[in-house]
Amino acid sequence: MSHLHNSSGQVPQNRKFRSLIDLGTASVKALVVELRGNETHIWGHGQAPLEGGYGPAGEITDHEAIAAACDVALSMAEEITRNTFGRKIVPDQSVWGVPGWMYRGQPISFQQRRPRPEKRISRREWQSIQARLDRVVGRLSGTPLDIISTAKIDGHTVTEAIGLQGETLAIQAFVVSVDSAAQAILHKVAAELELDPPVLVSHARAVAMALSHDGIMLDMGRWGTSIVLVRQGRLTGSGWIPLGGQSFYRTLANGFGLSPAKLPIFCQDYINGLLPPVITNAANAALVDPANRWLDMIQELLATLAAGVSHSLPHKIYLAGGAGQLPALSLIARQYHWTQQLPWSRHPEVSLWQANSINGLTNHTGHTWKATDLICLGLARLA
């Protein structure tokens, strides 16, 4: 499991390269990217199946299995760079996406009334309210992965508070923390791959980079679904529910008597609209009950997120992930009684997330991106 540089793998001087790793439940994906200003060039892509590695609660139980899958995915991505870049690129530095069941998101906000609204906000005044945020973050359990903060003056979001005037000064933040033990294991895996200590970011942060406008992303994995709330291109809320694609696939397998070998073919034909209408209608009907349970859990979590950010929810809802493409899910979600239960900015619209919607990425690999590549592409945009 060696990723030491050799004569053909030396990273060219004055060029910034990174390895990106998306830790999933069923597979590990890797990219080799080059950073050029605001542009990211993708030179290598790899994917390896992951069997085991996690316990029933999502805890890492076999770091060697995860390391082996990461090694295969990285080696594939690096090998591709021989053809795409002209020489093998083996970056030491890496960015790892941490899956939703491993972290916890928490909104934090402070507001203070200013005795002299006409006086411009000083650097010292702003640092004082930032220090309050730092103290609260320091008391949170786990290790902070992402701290996304926003300044507000008299209720209006500003990019820079220093030098402005106003009656109230506020800071709002969404903090994502990971269990310290899980963080230590991921660093151990990186060390076994002979990589520098990785930069760890949450899947939620990667999703926010992939969704540059207001919206809600429902990213369905094998075990569960990540719900990510994005406002003005910023992560403002996230959560994870323990109901994912496996439940829907199992329903289809049982309902149509599909073997493990035939199930993926059936699902792909279902997604692509190639099944006879009578079979498509039967599949839609079979998924009504699990889809309603799924939406009930999402609705409950969104209600909590809406209370945390104290404003209405963005009306655009996107489905991603493998099972997120099943036609019944978007169909049932559009019929679901969202408007009666949640504070939407407008009547909600449900659509599939499109992988070609991310700007600033140049793909040299020839790989066709899919809805299952959401995290990889978000990491590339974030890198």
Q: Which residues, in sequence order, are bridge partners of residue 31?
A: 20, 45
The DSSP code for 312 is P
**Closest by CA position to 191, among listed 2, 383, 59:** 2
- Superfamily of the domain at 212-352: ATPase, nucleotide binding domain (3.30.420.40)
Say if residues 110 and 132 touch (Cβ distance below 8 Å).
Answer: yes
Domain boundaries, the chain: 16-101+181-208+358-382, 102-179, 212-352
**Closest by CA position to 12, among listed 107, 118, 101, 85:** 85
**Closest by CA position to 248, among listed 332, 354, 318:** 332
pLDDT of 12 reads: 56
pLDDT of 6 reads: 37
Nearest-angstrom CA–CA distance, 211 and 189? 29
Strands of the sheet with 199-202, listed across from one edge: 199-202, 94-98, 16-23, 27-36, 39-49, 361-363
Say if residues 275 and 269 touch (Cβ distance below 8 Å).
Answer: yes
Nearest-angstrom CA–CA distance, 238 and 90? 33
- Superfamily of the domain at 16-101+181-208+358-382: ATPase, nucleotide binding domain (3.30.420.40)
The size of the chain, in residues, is 383
Tokens 């992303």, residue located: 217
Residue 140: how many other CB atoms lie within 10 Å: 13
**Closest by CA position to 183, among listed 173, 194, 191:** 191
Nearest-angstrom CA–CA distance, 152 and 111? 9
Query: Tokens in use for 333?
Result: 């979600």
Report the run of H or E that residue 39 belongs to, with start and end: strand 39-49
The DSSP code for 317 is E
Say if residues 321 and 245 touch (Cβ distance below 8 Å).
Answer: yes
pTM of the model: 0.87
Nearest-angstrom CA–CA distance, 144 and 106? 10
Q: Report mean pLDDT in 10-residue bins for the chain, 383 residues.
A: 44 78 92 92 96 78 92 97 95 92 86 91 91 88 85 88 92 88 91 92 91 90 91 86 94 96 96 96 96 94 79 90 93 85 89 89 93 93 86
Q: Identical fold at 16-101+181-208+358-382 and 212-352? A: yes
φ and ψ at residue 273, rounded to 5 degrees: 75, 30
Residues 297-331: tens digit of each pLDDT: 999 999 988 886 556 899 999 999 989 999 999 99
Would strands 94-98 and 39-49 be described as parallel, antiparallel, or unpaired? Answer: unpaired
Would strands 39-49 and 361-363 be described as parallel, antiparallel, or unpaired? Answer: parallel
Nearest-angstrom CA–CA distance, 221 and 320? 9
φ and ψ at residue 233, rounded to 5 degrees: 75, 10
pLDDT of 2 reads: 42
Q: Which fold has domain 102-179?
A: Dna Ligase; domain 1 (3.30.1490)
Query: Tokens in use for 247?
Result: 């439940």
Nearest-angstrom CA–CA distance, 342 and 155? 22
Q: Where are the alpha helices (DSSP H) in the chain?
A: 63-84, 123-139, 180-192, 203-210, 245-256, 263-271, 277-286, 288-309, 327-335, 374-382
Nearest-angstrom CA–CA distance, 330 and 352? 8
